[in-house]
A and B are shown apart, each in its own frame.
Chain A
């Protein structure tokens, strides 16, 4: 019987929670995984990606490129067939965190001496 090239993938988020597992064929691309993550992002999280390009996927100690396939990211020494692969997800919003709390130091206070002529 031909082996189906299906891989179970779980995505681990920044706070330790997981999405999935989802089943993908080994020909699925990283870009497809990102689209799925954005559409299936759990509600109630403080950080929410708005588009696939805000999401980075990391597996096997490398950042995965969009055009690579899932089968290409196979883990070395992966002798456990059918096991779930866990991919880390990092969200980088395109607008950096608004640092509206930038404190302007008042160190440029001028020291003024006033002399009064009596």
Chain B
């Protein structure tokens, strides 16, 4: 069922595909818009410089502003 949350996520994803921000790469996992893979490049002059942060973003609820879990 295409809820407003899912529509919003699809829209965000399309926007990210067309013009991805420089330090971040993110996409939903195969056919599950509520579970995303993300890679954040270590910003310069930080302890993460030269590395990548690999994250899984799990959206738990249909209300997009609540209940997100982030796994590193």
Contacts and interface: CB of A to CB of B under 8 A. Distances in A.
Given A76-B27, A76-B31, A61 B20 contact: no
B69 interface: no
Interface stretch (A22-30, A31-39, A88-96, A100-108): A88-96
B59 interface: no
A40 to B, nearest CB: 19
B29 A76 contact: yes
A58 B25 contact: yes
Contacts, number: 59
B33 A61 contact: no
A13 B54 CA distance: 18
Question: Secondary structure of the B side of the interface?
Answer: strand
A76 B26 CA distance: 11
Interface residues of B, number: 24
Contacts of B41: 14, 58, 88, 90
B52 A58 contact: yes
27 contacts: A12-B20, A12-B22, A14-B22, A14-B41, A15-B22, A16-B22, A56-B52, A58-B25, A58-B41, A59-B27, A61-B25, A61-B36, A61-B38, A62-B37, A62-B39, A62-B54, A63-B52, A75-B27, A76-B29, A76-B31, A77-B13, A77-B31, A86-B17, A86-B19, A88-B22, A90-B41, A96-B50
